[in-house]
Amino acid sequence: EGGGNMAASGEGDSEGLCGGERPGSGGLALLGLAPSAPSCPHGPALLFVKTSQGREEGRRFYACSACRDRKDCNFFQWEDEKVSETRLAAREEYNRNHQPPFTHRQNVERYKNFVLLPLSKRRFCQECQQLLFPAEWEKHLDHQFLCNISTAQLKSPSQLLYPLENKKTNAQYLFADRSCQFLLDLIIDLGFRRVLSVGTPRLHEMIQSKASQGEDFRVRSLLLDIDFRYSQFYTEDEFCHYNMFNHYFFGGEAAHEACRKFLHQDNGERVIMVTDPPFGGLVGALAASFKKLMAMWKETGKEGHNNQEMPMFWIFPYFFESRILEFFPSFSMMDYQVDYDNHALYKHGKTGRRQSPVRIFTNLTPSMIVLPVEEGYRFCTICQRYVSSGNQHCEICNSCTSKDGRRWKHCVLCKKCVKPSWFHCNNCNCCALQNHTCEKTDAGCFVCGKAGHKRSTCPSLSST
């Protein structure tokens, strides 16, 4: 998962521009997915441009949609560049060679045969992250491998596979059992019976496991994930190899159709999308893909779908709230702290700034999202939503204003609530940490260069 199936840097949004809105003070701006975009091993590339002081500068270029680090995927092409036939052929060859050794269908067949083997013949290569048959052992003699792979291990692939920990592409900080069980209970209580699990392998795994154990468990899940290793454990109608940064189905039309079919099955069963992307990823690129998945759901033509969004839980840090609301104004942020098994900082129950910053953003009515009272959450009758114990209702703001679990305080001069560690600075004319460096009042704005205002209040920036 998250931080999705792919997740988490946690320092704040490093992107300059998403989906073509105005850029910030400088850096890279994302212009989106162009119809004729070239492809790298991760599917169609995204179009970017360099910006300086809020303006486009220099040539536009294509780069990998999934990898923010050139070391992970070094694809680069100028938008106006003429690429020779030789180079195009070499690129296609490169893309082919960087695909997994087996197709999804081959992996499904391999799994069927693997479960027929006696326990002593079942091995898993930790280096190649692959189920091994006895005939393949010799090729992996100098690799570390696990023996006697049990059925229980095969049903829990997220624990068998090494988490990929590249923070911006596919860092798999997997949901802790507490959060996973809470999400599943909430989904069931809200009356959903189908879950589109976008980058949430552990939630998908929990649903699959419960569905195989009990006939009365009616929830079904489809996992969309960039981690192809899961194709070794799930059939083509349980898993689609998918890039959530460019809405690309690696399995082509067949995989796209499997997703469409899952969204269109009904029998009165409601569907919800749950996603936990990499926190270092581009919010605008993610939002564009999620809107396409929502549009796919809307195509069902069911009564009422026309004026409605597909129900969704987007799991992301609270400091991205303004970015998410730019793309999905109907969303609101819940106070529930989502925590992860293999992330040192993103743990529930820590105090102060050590609490997990990860929250649930949803387009469902906030009062419907019941949070566990035994963990200190309570219902605010004025805000009509559940809030954390430290989130006190501010009479002046007329809202429960805390974002991070601590009790925030109201600043009369700023006319809003601020973090308890912040104090009003007369030089900056806003609240900040006590030991901050004041912005020079005689300097021009960092964004547009004009005097009279600071970067944070620049009219050329979209309001946050």
How confident is the prediction along the chain (464 residues), in pLDDT tens digits per residue?
Answer: 654 333 333 323 333 333 333 334 457 788 989 888 999 999 999 999 988 766 777 889 999 999 877 888 989 999 999 999 999 999 999 999 999 989 999 999 999 999 999 999 999 999 999 999 999 999 999 999 899 999 999 999 988 888 765 444 445 678 888 899 999 999 999 999 999 999 999 999 999 999 888 778 889 999 999 999 999 999 999 999 999 999 999 999 999 999 999 998 876 678 999 999 988 888 999 999 999 999 999 886 665 555 688 999 999 999 999 999 999 999 999 989 998 876 555 555 544 446 788 999 999 999 999 999 998 898 999 889 898 888 888 888 888 888 887 888 898 888 898 888 888 998 888 999 888 888 654 445 555 555 555 555 665 554 33
> What is the 3-class SS of 33-61, one letter each residue?
CCCCCCEECCEECEEEEEEECCEEEEEEE
Predicted pLDDT at 398: 82
Chain segment 359-411, per-residue pLDDT in tens: 999 999 999 999 999 988 989 998 898 988 888 888 888 888 888 878 888 98
Predicted pLDDT at 221: 96
- CA pair distance 176, 198, nearest whole angstrom: 17
CA distances from 188 to 195, 217, 226, 261 (A): 10, 10, 26, 21
Phi-psi region at 267: left, alpha or beta (left = phi > 0; alpha = psi -120 to 50): left
Residue type, 233: F
Of all residues in the chain, the percent with pLDDT exceeding 70 is 81
Rounded to 5 degrees, what are φ and ψ at 423? Answer: -135, 155
* Residues paired with 51 in a beta bridge: 27, 56
- CA pair distance 138, 134, nearest whole angstrom: 8
Name, in order, each residue with C-beta under 8 angstroms of 171's C-beta and a sequence gap of 6 or more.
3, 6, 7, 8, 9, 163, 164, 165, 278, 280
The 3-state DSSP class for residue 219 equals coil
- Number of Cβ within 10 Å of residue 342's Cβ equals 12
Of 93, 232, 81, 218, the closest CA to residue 149 belongs to 232
Structure tokens at 102: 């087996």
Name, in order, each residue with C-beta under 8 angstroms of 460's C-beta and a sequence gap of 6 or more.
22, 54, 447, 448
- Number of Cβ within 10 Å of residue 420's Cβ equals 14
- Number of Cβ within 10 Å of residue 12's Cβ equals 11
Rounded to 5 degrees, what are φ and ψ at 324? Answer: -65, -40
Helices (H), 115-155: 151-154
Structure tokens at 198: 């976008």
Predicted pLDDT at 11: 28
Predicted pLDDT at 238: 96
- Number of Cβ within 10 Å of residue 180's Cβ equals 22
- CA pair distance 428, 411, nearest whole angstrom: 14
Helix (H) or strand (E) holding 212: helix 201-213
Under 8 Å between Cβ of 204 and 233: no
Under 8 Å between Cβ of 389 and 404: no
Predicted pLDDT at 349: 53
- CA pair distance 16, 184, nearest whole angstrom: 35
CATH class of 177-383: alpha beta
Radius of gyration of the chain (CA): 24
Under 8 Å between Cβ of 369 and 209: no
